Amino acid sequence: MDEARKVLERLGRIEGLRREDAPEGALLAEVRGLLRDGEAWLAAEAGAREGPTVLQDGRRGEVAAGTEVSPRA
């Protein structure tokens, strides 16, 4: 599963940047990439599970802004 591997690799890069105390812009770019990779993973899994997700529920901006969200009922 390439999508899942990309997410895990991205998380590793983010953790490395945090340990290095990298500039905020570099960290933010990786977090944005993580969001894209996560969306690709969800899209790949869409056939396995149907139903709304936080991203499908029009709340992507909240996720991107770092706001803690949970799926709407």
Q: What is the pLDDT of residues 17-59, one digit of tens each?
A: 999 999 999 999 999 999 999 999 988 887 656 555 555 556 6
Residue 6 lies in a domain: yes
pLDDT in tens, 53-71: 555 556 666 666 666 555 5
**18: in domain:** yes
**Residue 12 falls inside a structural domain:** yes
* Distance in angstroms (rounded) separating the CA atoms of residues 3 and 45: 9
69, part of any domain: no
Count of domains observed in the chain:
1
Q: Which domain holds residue 30?
A: 2-64
How far apart (Å, rounded) are the C-alpha atoms in residues 11 and 47?
Answer: 25
d(CA 38, CA 3): 8
Residue 17 domain flag: yes
| Residue reference for tokens 């599963």 | 1
Kindly report the number of other CB atoms within 10 A of residue 22's CB atom. Answer: 15
In a domain, 73, yes or no: no
In a domain, 71, yes or no: no
